Protein backbone atom coordinates (compact mmCIF):
# COMPACT_ATOMS: atom_id res chain seq x y z
CA UNK A 1 0.00 0.00 0.00
CA UNK A 2 1.54 3.35 -1.02
CA UNK A 3 2.29 5.76 1.81
CA UNK A 4 -0.32 8.44 2.45
CA UNK A 5 0.78 11.89 1.39
CA UNK A 6 0.89 14.38 4.24
CA UNK A 7 -1.17 17.54 3.84
CA UNK A 8 0.90 20.66 4.63
CA UNK A 9 -0.25 22.36 7.80
CA UNK A 10 -0.68 26.06 8.35
CA UNK A 11 2.37 27.90 9.65
CA UNK A 12 1.73 30.26 12.56
CA UNK A 13 4.75 32.43 11.75
CA UNK A 14 3.76 32.85 8.10
CA UNK A 15 0.06 33.28 8.92
CA UNK A 16 0.94 36.13 11.27
CA UNK A 17 2.92 38.04 8.64
CA UNK A 18 -0.16 39.98 7.48
CA UNK A 19 1.48 43.42 7.72
CA UNK A 20 4.52 42.29 5.73
CA UNK A 21 2.28 40.78 3.05
CA UNK A 22 0.15 43.93 2.89
CA UNK A 23 3.23 46.11 2.47
CA UNK A 24 4.36 43.93 -0.45
CA UNK A 25 0.91 44.13 -2.06
CA UNK A 26 0.83 47.93 -1.70
CA UNK A 27 4.23 48.23 -3.37
CA UNK A 28 2.97 46.24 -6.36
CA UNK A 29 -0.45 47.91 -6.50
CA UNK A 30 0.72 51.50 -6.25
CA UNK A 31 -1.88 54.24 -5.87
CA UNK A 32 -5.11 54.97 -7.67
CA UNK A 33 -5.78 58.08 -9.85
CA UNK A 34 -6.75 60.11 -6.76
CA UNK A 35 -3.87 58.85 -4.63
CA UNK A 36 -5.97 56.24 -2.88
CA UNK A 37 -4.70 52.81 -1.89
CA UNK A 38 -5.78 49.82 -3.94
CA UNK A 39 -5.29 47.09 -1.31
CA UNK A 40 -8.35 46.34 0.79
CA UNK A 41 -9.23 43.97 3.62
CA UNK A 42 -7.27 40.84 4.42
CA UNK A 43 -9.33 37.92 3.07
CA UNK A 44 -7.44 35.02 4.60
CA UNK A 45 -4.56 32.66 3.93
CA UNK A 46 -4.00 29.64 1.71
CA UNK A 47 -1.44 26.93 2.46
CA UNK A 48 0.66 26.22 -0.61
CA UNK A 49 3.15 23.78 0.96
CA UNK A 50 5.52 23.28 3.87
CA UNK A 51 6.50 26.73 5.18
CA UNK A 52 4.82 28.30 2.12
CA UNK A 53 1.64 30.32 2.48
CA UNK A 54 -0.34 32.94 0.49
CA UNK A 55 -2.12 35.96 1.97
CA UNK A 56 -5.14 37.29 0.04
CA UNK A 57 -6.23 40.93 0.11
CA UNK A 58 -9.24 42.52 -1.58
CA UNK A 59 -8.55 44.69 -4.61
CA UNK A 60 -10.34 48.05 -4.40
CA UNK A 61 -9.38 49.30 -7.86
CA UNK A 62 -12.34 50.37 -10.00
CA UNK A 63 -13.28 47.76 -12.58
CA UNK A 64 -11.64 44.89 -10.68
CA UNK A 65 -14.60 43.47 -8.80
CA UNK A 66 -13.79 40.02 -7.44
CA UNK A 67 -10.03 40.33 -7.95
CA UNK A 68 -7.55 40.00 -5.11
CA UNK A 69 -3.93 40.66 -4.31
CA UNK A 70 -2.11 37.40 -3.56
CA UNK A 71 1.15 37.60 -1.64
CA UNK A 72 3.08 34.36 -1.15
CA UNK A 73 5.48 34.18 1.79
CA UNK A 74 7.92 31.51 3.00
CA UNK A 75 10.52 30.82 5.68
CA UNK A 76 13.48 28.49 6.03
CA UNK A 77 13.29 25.47 8.37
CA UNK A 78 13.58 26.47 12.06
CA UNK A 79 13.82 30.13 11.02
CA UNK A 80 11.39 32.84 12.03
CA UNK A 81 12.36 35.32 9.32
CA UNK A 82 9.56 35.60 6.73
CA UNK A 83 10.45 36.20 3.07
CA UNK A 84 8.07 37.51 0.41
CA UNK A 85 8.26 35.23 -2.65
CA UNK A 86 5.86 37.05 -4.99
CA UNK A 87 2.92 39.45 -5.02
CA UNK A 88 0.40 39.57 -7.86
CA UNK A 89 -3.15 40.41 -8.80
CA UNK A 90 -5.28 37.31 -9.41
CA UNK A 91 -8.90 36.69 -10.33
CA UNK A 92 -11.31 35.33 -7.72
CA UNK A 93 -14.29 33.06 -8.31
CA UNK A 94 -16.64 35.99 -8.99
CA UNK A 95 -14.12 38.20 -10.78
CA UNK A 96 -15.15 40.17 -13.84
CA UNK A 97 -13.10 38.70 -16.69
CA UNK A 98 -12.69 39.54 -20.35
CA UNK A 99 -14.27 37.09 -22.83
CA UNK A 100 -12.10 34.19 -23.93
CA UNK A 101 -9.85 35.36 -26.75
CA UNK A 102 -10.61 33.87 -30.15
CA UNK A 103 -8.43 34.01 -33.28
CA UNK A 104 -9.66 36.43 -35.93
CA UNK A 105 -10.73 33.55 -38.19
CA UNK A 106 -13.21 32.43 -35.50
CA UNK A 107 -14.38 35.93 -34.55
CA UNK A 108 -15.11 37.32 -37.99
CA UNK A 109 -18.73 37.27 -39.12
CA UNK A 110 -20.41 37.84 -42.50
CA UNK A 111 -20.51 41.57 -43.17
CA UNK A 112 -17.49 42.41 -40.98
CA UNK A 113 -15.12 42.89 -43.93
CA UNK A 114 -15.37 46.37 -45.43
CA UNK A 115 -14.77 47.33 -49.07
CA UNK A 116 -11.10 48.25 -48.45
CA UNK A 117 -10.28 45.60 -45.80
CA UNK A 118 -7.80 42.82 -46.61
CA UNK A 119 -7.69 39.57 -44.61
CA UNK A 120 -4.50 37.55 -44.12
CA UNK A 121 -4.32 34.19 -45.85
CA UNK A 122 -5.61 31.33 -43.73
CA UNK A 123 -3.29 28.42 -44.44
CA UNK A 124 -5.34 25.69 -42.75
CA UNK A 125 -8.87 26.47 -43.87
CA UNK A 126 -11.31 23.57 -43.58
CA UNK A 127 -13.55 25.21 -46.17
CA UNK A 128 -10.92 24.76 -48.90
CA UNK A 129 -8.97 21.91 -50.42
CA UNK A 130 -6.13 21.86 -52.93
CA UNK A 131 -7.25 22.51 -56.49
CA UNK A 132 -6.05 19.07 -57.62
CA UNK A 133 -7.87 17.18 -54.84
CA UNK A 134 -11.18 15.46 -55.54
CA UNK A 135 -14.02 17.23 -53.73
CA UNK A 136 -16.86 14.93 -54.74
CA UNK A 137 -18.48 17.78 -56.66
CA UNK A 138 -18.46 16.87 -60.36
CA UNK A 139 -18.47 20.41 -61.73
CA UNK A 140 -15.87 21.67 -59.25
CA UNK A 141 -13.57 18.71 -59.91
CA UNK A 142 -13.85 19.24 -63.67
CA UNK A 143 -12.89 22.90 -63.31
CA UNK A 144 -10.01 21.99 -60.98
CA UNK A 145 -8.59 19.50 -63.47
CA UNK A 146 -8.88 22.06 -66.24
CA UNK A 147 -7.14 24.68 -64.13
CA UNK A 148 -4.44 22.41 -62.71
CA UNK A 149 -1.26 24.44 -62.61
CA UNK A 150 -2.95 27.39 -64.30
CA UNK A 151 -5.82 28.58 -62.13
CA UNK A 152 -6.96 28.39 -58.51
CA UNK A 153 -4.68 26.67 -56.03
CA UNK A 154 -7.61 25.83 -53.75
CA UNK A 155 -11.31 25.18 -54.25
CA UNK A 156 -14.26 24.68 -51.92
CA UNK A 157 -14.24 21.53 -49.84
CA UNK A 158 -17.35 19.55 -48.94
CA UNK A 159 -17.38 21.28 -45.53
CA UNK A 160 -16.99 24.67 -47.24
CA UNK A 161 -19.99 24.04 -49.48
CA UNK A 162 -22.09 22.79 -46.57
CA UNK A 163 -21.21 25.87 -44.48
CA UNK A 164 -22.09 28.24 -47.32
CA UNK A 165 -25.35 26.43 -48.04
CA UNK A 166 -26.37 26.59 -44.37
CA UNK A 167 -25.54 30.30 -44.17
CA UNK A 168 -27.43 31.14 -47.37
CA UNK A 169 -30.46 29.05 -46.46
CA UNK A 170 -30.75 30.58 -42.98
CA UNK A 171 -30.09 34.13 -44.23
CA UNK A 172 -32.17 36.89 -45.77
CA UNK A 173 -32.53 35.05 -49.08
CA UNK A 174 -33.83 31.75 -47.73
CA UNK A 175 -37.35 30.56 -46.93
CA UNK A 176 -37.42 32.38 -43.59
CA UNK A 177 -37.27 35.87 -45.12
CA UNK A 178 -40.36 38.06 -44.83
CA UNK A 179 -40.73 38.33 -48.61
CA UNK A 180 -40.65 34.53 -48.89
CA UNK A 181 -43.34 34.06 -46.24
CA UNK A 182 -45.79 36.32 -48.07
CA UNK A 183 -44.83 35.29 -51.61
CA UNK A 184 -47.39 33.30 -53.61
CA UNK A 185 -44.68 31.10 -55.20
CA UNK A 186 -41.04 30.18 -54.66
CA UNK A 187 -38.01 31.19 -56.70
CA UNK A 188 -37.70 27.69 -58.14
CA UNK A 189 -40.66 28.34 -60.45
CA UNK A 190 -39.63 31.88 -61.42
CA UNK A 191 -38.35 32.57 -64.94
CA UNK A 192 -35.65 34.84 -63.56
CA UNK A 193 -34.13 32.05 -61.42
CA UNK A 194 -30.69 30.90 -62.62
CA UNK A 195 -29.81 27.57 -60.93
CA UNK A 196 -26.31 27.11 -59.58
CA UNK A 197 -24.22 24.29 -61.07
CA UNK A 198 -23.56 20.96 -59.41
CA UNK A 199 -25.14 19.76 -56.19
CA UNK A 200 -26.06 23.35 -55.22
CA UNK A 201 -28.49 23.36 -58.17
CA UNK A 202 -31.05 21.44 -56.15
CA UNK A 203 -31.37 24.16 -53.54
CA UNK A 204 -29.89 27.46 -54.81
CA UNK A 205 -29.74 29.77 -57.75
CA UNK A 206 -29.14 33.42 -58.60
CA UNK A 207 -31.93 35.96 -59.01
CA UNK A 208 -31.75 37.82 -62.35
CA UNK A 209 -34.83 40.01 -61.93
CA UNK A 210 -33.96 43.69 -61.83
CA UNK A 211 -37.27 44.44 -60.12
CA UNK A 212 -36.61 42.01 -57.28
CA UNK A 213 -34.91 43.05 -54.01
CA UNK A 214 -32.84 39.85 -54.39
CA UNK A 215 -31.48 40.73 -57.84
CA UNK A 216 -27.90 39.49 -58.27
CA UNK A 217 -27.88 37.43 -55.06
CA UNK A 218 -28.00 33.72 -54.27
CA UNK A 219 -31.54 32.65 -53.34
CA UNK A 220 -33.01 29.31 -52.31
CA UNK A 221 -35.61 27.60 -54.45
CA UNK A 222 -38.18 28.16 -51.67
CA UNK A 223 -37.34 31.85 -51.29
CA UNK A 224 -39.71 34.27 -52.96
CA UNK A 225 -40.77 37.86 -53.49
CA UNK A 226 -43.49 39.91 -55.12
CA UNK A 227 -41.60 40.15 -58.43
CA UNK A 228 -42.10 36.46 -59.32
CA UNK A 229 -42.49 36.06 -63.08
CA UNK A 230 -45.64 33.92 -62.90
CA UNK A 231 -47.63 35.39 -60.03
CA UNK A 232 -50.24 38.03 -60.68
CA UNK A 233 -52.67 40.29 -58.88
CA UNK A 234 -55.95 41.77 -59.98
CA UNK A 235 -55.31 45.21 -61.41
CA UNK A 236 -58.00 47.69 -60.47
CA UNK A 237 -58.73 50.69 -62.60
CA UNK A 238 -58.50 53.90 -60.71
CA UNK A 239 -61.88 55.51 -60.15
CA UNK A 240 -61.36 58.80 -61.97
CA UNK A 241 -64.53 60.95 -62.33
CA UNK A 242 -65.50 61.54 -65.97
CA UNK A 243 -65.08 65.17 -67.08
CA UNK A 244 -68.26 67.23 -67.51
CA UNK A 245 -68.33 69.52 -70.58
CA UNK A 246 -70.85 72.34 -70.79
CA UNK A 247 -70.99 73.33 -74.45
CA UNK A 248 -73.56 76.05 -73.76
CA UNK A 249 -70.92 78.31 -72.19
CA UNK A 250 -68.55 80.19 -74.51
CA UNK A 251 -65.24 81.57 -73.42
CA UNK A 252 -64.56 85.00 -74.98
CA UNK A 253 -60.90 85.49 -75.79
CA UNK A 254 -59.52 88.91 -76.79
CA UNK A 255 -57.98 89.05 -80.29
CA UNK A 256 -54.93 91.18 -80.78
* Structural contact between residues 228 and 180, judged by C-beta atoms closer than 8 angstroms: no
Burial of 232 (0-12, 13-18, 19+ CB in 10 A): exposed
How far apart CA 168 and CA 68 sit, in angstroms, is 48
pLDDT tens figures, 58-107? 999 988 989 999 999 999 988 889 999 999 999 988 888 888 888 877 88
How far apart CA 45 and CA 13 sit, in angstroms, is 12
Predicted confidence (pLDDT) at residue 149 exceeds the cutoff of 50 = no
This prediction has a pTM of 0.47
What is the b/e burial string over 137-150, where b = at least 16 CB atoms within 10 angstroms of the residue's CB? beebbebbeeeeee
Amino acid sequence: MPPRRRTPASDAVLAGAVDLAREAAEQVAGLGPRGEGLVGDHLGVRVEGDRLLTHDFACTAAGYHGWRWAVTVARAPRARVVTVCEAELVAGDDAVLAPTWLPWAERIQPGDVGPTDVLPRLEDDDRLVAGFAATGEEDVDAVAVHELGLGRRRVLSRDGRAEAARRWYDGDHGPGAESARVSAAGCGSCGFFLPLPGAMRQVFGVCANGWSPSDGTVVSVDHGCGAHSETDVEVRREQVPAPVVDDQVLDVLPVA
